[in-house]
């Protein structure tokens, strides 16, 4: 049994991974505030960012100003909390995912696949998209035994019906919330293979497709750890993904947590009003 996969009491920190440009700042602030309400252990946040461009768009990195604001909030809860803003521009440019640079998803969605190349990263990382809200404590999920496991994820709400890569009936996970076992990912070259795939093969959801096709040791977690459709009584993480609605007519609905009026009007959701008021008061400092 590998020591890196078993957490001793004194090692119990929570390591969170975000990836994004300056447009991710609102979402990362909301997620971080929600985490602070439910994480008692020291919280270490890693934000991978870069400056890059596609044929049609120019992207600016996650700002130091936003990182400083997040650091202030983190340390106001616990002086042991920390934030690490990591510039991956050079790393990304050395091996750009050329086949998918102009997909409908930003290049930052693929940046998590480079985390194994960054020195001094912790063995265990919980990757979160910036449109997630933490609603309950997730200690048992985060500190679970990862022996022989590359990634832990929840089935994709829609994709589980259409995509299938292993012997089990449903195995297609959503990549918006992933518990990563970095030693096993490195040992099996999972992200090395994934980077090659996104460089050479065009895919609709490149990062998610690569992880699902190539990970042979993934663990499926219960729906409550990545609730993509709606809030349930046992939701731990709510993920504000695009969904299909059929009433009063068929339409596609996308609402993000920082769109507070739409959260109230379209989702009829007031569960997070206190959290979103915290965000609203801090937003001007971004």
| Closest listed residue to residue 176, CA positions, set 222, 129, 142 | 129
Domain that holds residue 182: 9-241
Q: Measured between alpha carbons, how far is 239 from 241 in angstroms, rounded to an integer?
A: 6
Asked if 121 and 46 count as a contact pair (C-beta separation under 8 A), the reply is yes
- Pairing type for strands 251-253 and 237-239 reads unpaired
pLDDT, position 263: 98
Looking from the CA of 56 toward its CB, the CA atoms found within 13 Å total 6
Number of domains in the chain: 1
**pTM of the prediction?**
0.91
Is 58 part of a structural domain of the chain?
yes
The greatest distance separating any two alpha carbons of the chain, rounded to the nearest whole angstrom, comes to 54
pLDDT in tens, the chain (286 residues): 333 444 444 368 999 999 999 999 999 999 999 999 999 999 999 999 999 999 889 999 999 999 999 999 999 999 999 999 999 999 999 999 999 998 878 999 999 999 999 999 999 999 999 999 999 999 999 999 999 999 999 999 654 445 554 555 578 999 999 999 999 999 999 999 999 999 999 998 899 999 999 999 999 999 999 999 899 999 999 999 987 565 665 658 999 999 999 999 999 999 999 999 999 999 999 9
Q: What is the CATH number of the domain that holds 125?
A: 3.90.550.10
Is 249 part of a structural domain of the chain?
no
């Amino acid at each position: 049994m590998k020591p890196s996969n078993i957490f001793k009491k004194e090692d119990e920190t929570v390591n969170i991974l975000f990836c994004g440009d300056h447009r991710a700042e609102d979402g990362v602030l909301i997620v971080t505030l929600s985490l602070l309400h439910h994480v008692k252990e020291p919280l270490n946040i890693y934000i991978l960012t870069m400056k890059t461009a596609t044929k049609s768009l120019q992207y600016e990195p996650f700002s130091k100003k936003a990182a400083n604001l997040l650091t202030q909030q983190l340390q106001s809860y616990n002086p042991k909390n920390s934030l690490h803003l990591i510039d991956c521009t050079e790393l990304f440019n050395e091996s750009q995912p050329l086949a998918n640079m102009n997909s409908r998803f930003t290049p930052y969605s693929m940046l998590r696949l480079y985390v194994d190349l960054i020195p001094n990263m912790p063995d265990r990382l919980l990757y979160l998209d910036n449109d997630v809200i933490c609603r309950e404590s997730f200690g048992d999920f985060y500190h679970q035994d990862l022996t022989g496991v590359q990634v832990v994820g929840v089935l994709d709400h829609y994709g589980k019906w259409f995509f299938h890569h292993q012997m089990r009936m449903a195995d297609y996970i959503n990549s918006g919330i992933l518990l990563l076992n970095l030693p096993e990912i490195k040992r099996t070259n999972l992200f090395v293979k994934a980077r090659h795939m996104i460089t050479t093969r065009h895919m609709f959801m490149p990062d998610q497709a690569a992880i699902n096709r190539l990970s042979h040791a993934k663990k499926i977690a219960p729906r409550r750890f990545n609730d993509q459709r709606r809030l349930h009584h046992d939701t731990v993480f709510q993920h504000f993904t695009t969904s299909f609605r059929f009433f009063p007519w068929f339409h596609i609905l996308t609402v993000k947590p920082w769109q507070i009026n739409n959260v109230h009007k379209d989702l009829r959701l007031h569960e997070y009003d206190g959290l979103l008021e915290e965000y609203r008061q801090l937003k001007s400092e971004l």
